[in-house]
Structure 1
């Protein structure tokens, strides 16, 4: 999954919106919400799979279902769609209180993805460089985790980030409420790539996926 597919600007239904939010009113927006992960958490407790990796895989799964979240620019600066994105995610070094960013190739099979990601997290848990695997490939999206706190709002301020169209996700600490387990989730996205409708649909895709966690084995 490393191929960019060009978009025909004459037939692209989002051409006007893309150009408006890319050049006239360049902006990103963020949505913060809570995801009910009660069923997924129960399934993980019955398995040997790691929670963080399951969260990352679920995000990668829904991102790859929707082409607006795989939008990028080709070498000529024209809009194009990646045929797939891979997650880049953080691993925290407790000793020096810094993090590293690693990435794993997305796989539709959660088990295969889990094993590769678990090996990466174990290998680089004491890494002191920010990118221990070297430069990230161009077709990744970012996932960060803040397991030390829950939150009701989260916004990134990206200087000169007007050419960054891949979504950025931030996860918080679980919240227990009325017998349910809720996961704070913030989504940051370039408005040229997706409107609120598209981001809301992505969030609903995620809610449906974690509510039926038969993919966890």
Structure 2
């Protein structure tokens, strides 16, 4: 794992914002959106690729475009940027009615990522441990799925998580409205890492990726 690169605070435009939301008013915020997944769902219906893995990769690919979503803290508490972050995601065990958390290395090649993630989901579908692979890497971020229900709002109340700068994503069940398929997505963000502008850009770029899903079979 390559080390995170400390941010140069003398030139960083968000230096004051980071300090404010880390110390003076530490806070996170959540944003729930309904993504238009019509083309995405249609393409997957004609593909052998798995929907959940495609959703995870789409999120991870956008997260890895932007420094603000790859942030962490050094041992001294200074902000730093990972060169790459990897998705950690849930796999449900229906017999136990519990889930496990696994992770896969991010790969810009969706086909290679899909192969690795599919093997992980198959291997750990009956896992009893919360973390069957052991401790997650420091440069992991969380994606979870709630495929049994749709939602228009979703908030995680995380106690004393002011050092957790990585974004957290929650996916819901598809909703069909006429000819359109909507995918609920909740995004939890530490305000010290990113402002509303950055999260809106992430959502917009993710929407663009879902609208042009030909990458699924590449």
Q: Bin the TM-score by the shorter chain.
A: over 0.9
Q: TM-score, normalised by structure 2?
A: 0.98
Alignment of 1:23-102 (within 5 A): 23-102=23-102
Identify the range of structure 1 (35-44 vs 134-143) with the bigger mean alpha-carbon deviation.
35-44
State the alpha-carbon separation in 1 of the partners of residues 83 and 190 from structure 2: 19
- Alignment-derived partner of residue 147 in structure 2: 147
Q: Kindly state the Cα deviation for residue 76 of structure 1 after the two structures are TM-superposed.
A: 2.1
Cα distance in 2, alignment partners of residues 77 and 211 from structure 1: 39
Residue 110 of structure 1 corresponds to 110
Q: Give the TM-score taking structure 1 as reference length.
A: 0.99
Structure 1, residues 93-138: CA drift from partner, whole Å, max 9, x if none?
0001000000000000000000000000000000001000000000
Q: Offset of 1:40 from its aligned partner? A: 1.0
Where does residue 128 of structure 1 map in the other structure? 128
Gaps of 5+ in 2: none
Task: Indicate the RMSD between aligned Cα atoms, in angstroms.
Answer: 0.7
Equivalents in 1 of 2:34, 2:148: separation in Å?
A: 16
What's the counterpart of residue 182 of structure 1?
A: 182
Residue of structure 2 equivalent to 1:14: 14
The C-alpha deviation readout for 1:26-70, integer Å capped at 9, x for no partner, is 000000010111111111111100000000000000000011011
Secondary structure class of the residue paired with 1:111: helix
Q: Secondary structure at the match of 2:185?
A: strand
- Which stretches of structure 1, 4 residues or longer, exceed 4 Å deviation after superposition? none
Alignment match, 1:5: 5
> 1:2·1:139 contact (CA, 8 Å) conserved in 2?
no
Q: Deviations over 1:155-202 (max 9, x none)?
A: 001111000000000000000002111000000000000001100000
What is the rounded CA distance, in whole Å, between the counterparts of 2:86 and 2:2 in structure 1? 10
In the alignment, structure 1 residue 171 sits paired with structure 2 residue 171: yes
Partner of 2:204: 204
